[in-house]
């Protein structure tokens, strides 16, 4: 009791003359506001960038698999595909949009996996206990993952020449935009999964299990026309289809092809014969990303 008395006196003193006494820097954490949430989004986002910059090895290793698909599979299959390709179009150019999507896919999912990692190493708790809304943290994480995955896509985009795709500025900007959208949705998907799956091994196993089917069903390696019914339905369910299609459309409109060739290689996505417009296609992806991010926010907002 005596001790408390003394502390009380000290308290009174310090509050009167705080700065002078101990060189105390006055800090008052402000009320929760939109601004504080934006600041939180920004720092969570920046952390992803700092960590990405430190991890150069990841940038390189993430390139290997897409490059294998593009150069080895693309070159190997091109002789087989020659017959059905119009003159002047390589099979590599055909699968290039899919390979771009693939490079983004791995980085996006991997960056979401860092949430599981953060949980294991405790850092997630530092974020979850902060006086900001959980949505700020989830949004920051999704944007951060989207940004670094897009960077990864841009590295792959720089190699467009290998696939005989021209470095047209409009094409490049269109593709970056589409990659960003894809990266965001995939990160949101990863974050949603990471909100529930607490073990790193399980997370990686599950996402790996989903990533390849998503890729193969997206029409990244074959045109979506003339498929058997079951496959046709599956490709239309795969969200990746709705990004690969528009990206292929962008690539092929910049290849100066006759209309019939373009129609054959990039017919667009059809729902029972109706061609889904590019805008709607990308809109579907964006809405899915937002929904998954919403689910992630709800999951993280639930306390124990």
Partner 1 sequence: MAARGPHGTGPDGSGQVDGAGGVDGTDEHRPTASDVAGASGPGLAAGNGHSPPPAITVAGLTKNYGEIEAVRGIDFEVRTGETFGFLGPNGAGKSTTIKILCTLARPTSGSARVAGHDVTAERDAVRRNIGLVFQDTTLDNYLTGAQNLRFHADLYGVPTAAVAPRMRQVMEMVGLWDRRDSLVMTYSGGMQRRLEIARGLLHAPRVLFLDEPTVGLDPQTRSSIWEYINELKAREDITIFLTTHYMDEAEHCDRIAIIDHGKIVAIDTPEALKASVGKDRVQIHTSDDPAAIAELKRDFGIEAGIHEGAVTFSVTGGEQFVPRLFAGFSVPIRSVSVSRPSLDDVFMSYTGKTIRDAEATGADAMRQMVAHFRGRR
Query: Which residues contact partner 1 by CB under 8 A?
Result: 1, 3-4, 7-8, 10-11, 14-15, 18, 22-32, 36, 39-40, 42-44, 47, 50-51, 54-55, 118, 121-123, 125-132, 303-304
Terminal Cα-to-Cα distance of the chain (whole angstroms): 36
Between 209 and 304, CB nearer to partner 1: 304
CA distances 47 to 41, 54, 154, 174, Å, are 10, 11, 20, 27
Q: How far is it, in rounded angstroms, from Cα 182 to Cα 99? A: 13
Q: How far is it, in rounded angstroms, from Cα 265 to Cα 247? A: 12
Least Cβ distance, residue 144 to partner 1 (angstroms): 12
Q: How far is it, in rounded angstroms, from Cα 132 to Cα 174? A: 35
Q: What angle do CA 145, 150, 155 make, to 5 degrees?
A: 130
Least Cβ distance, residue 53 to partner 1 (angstroms): 10
Between 124 and 255, CB nearer to partner 1: 124
Between 45 and 215, CB nearer to partner 1: 45
Q: How far is it, in rounded angstroms, from Cα 200 to Cα 221? A: 30
Least Cβ distance, residue 240 to partner 1 (angstroms): 30
Token pair, residue 95, equals 């699968």
C-alpha atoms less than 13 angstroms from C-alpha of 85 in its C-beta half-sphere: 17
Between 122 and 169, CB nearer to partner 1: 122
Between 118 and 178, CB nearer to partner 1: 118
Least Cβ distance, residue 119 to partner 1 (angstroms): 10
Q: Are strands 270-271 and 274-275 parallel, antiparallel or unpaired?
A: antiparallel
Least Cβ distance, residue 187 to partner 1 (angstroms): 19
């Amino acid at each position: 009791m005596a001790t408390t008395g003394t502390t009380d006196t000290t308290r009174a003193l310090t509050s009167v003359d705080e700065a002078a006494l101990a060189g105390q820097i006055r800090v008052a954490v402000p009320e929760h506001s939109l601004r504080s949430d934006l600041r939180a989004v920004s720092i969570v986002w920046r952390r992803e960038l700092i960590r990405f910059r430190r991890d150069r090895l990841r940038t390189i290793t993430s390139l290997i698999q897409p490059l294998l698909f593009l150069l080895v599979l693309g070159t190997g299959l091109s002789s087989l595909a020659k017959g059905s390709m119009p003159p002047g179009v390589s099979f590599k150019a055909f699968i290039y949009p899919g390979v771009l999507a693939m490079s983004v896919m791995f980085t996006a999912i991997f960056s979401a996996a860092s949430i599981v990692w953060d949980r294991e190493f405790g850092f997630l708790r530092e974020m979850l206990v902060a006086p900001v809304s959980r949505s700020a943290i989830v949004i920051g994480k999704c944007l951060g993952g989207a940004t670094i995955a897009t960077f990864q896509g841009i590295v792959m985009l720089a190699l467009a020449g290998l696939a005989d795709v021209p470095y047209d500025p409009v094409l490049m900007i269109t593709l970056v935009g589409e990659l960003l959208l894809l990266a965001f949705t995939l990160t949101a998907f990863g974050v949603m999964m990471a909100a529930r799956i607490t073990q790193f091994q399980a997370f990686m196993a599950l996402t790996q299990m989903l990533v390849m089917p998503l890729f193969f069903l997206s029409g990244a390696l074959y045109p979506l026309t003339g498929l058997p019914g079951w496959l046709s339905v599956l490709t239309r369910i795969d969200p990746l289809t709705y990004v690969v299609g528009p990206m292929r459309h962008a690539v092929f409109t910049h290849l100066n092809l006759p209309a019939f060739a373009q129609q054959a290689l990039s017919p667009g996505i059809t729902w029972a014969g109706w061609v889904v417009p590019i805008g709607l296609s990308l809109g579907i992806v964006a809405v899915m990303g937002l929904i998954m991010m919403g689910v992630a926010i709800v999951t993280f907002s639930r306390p124990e």
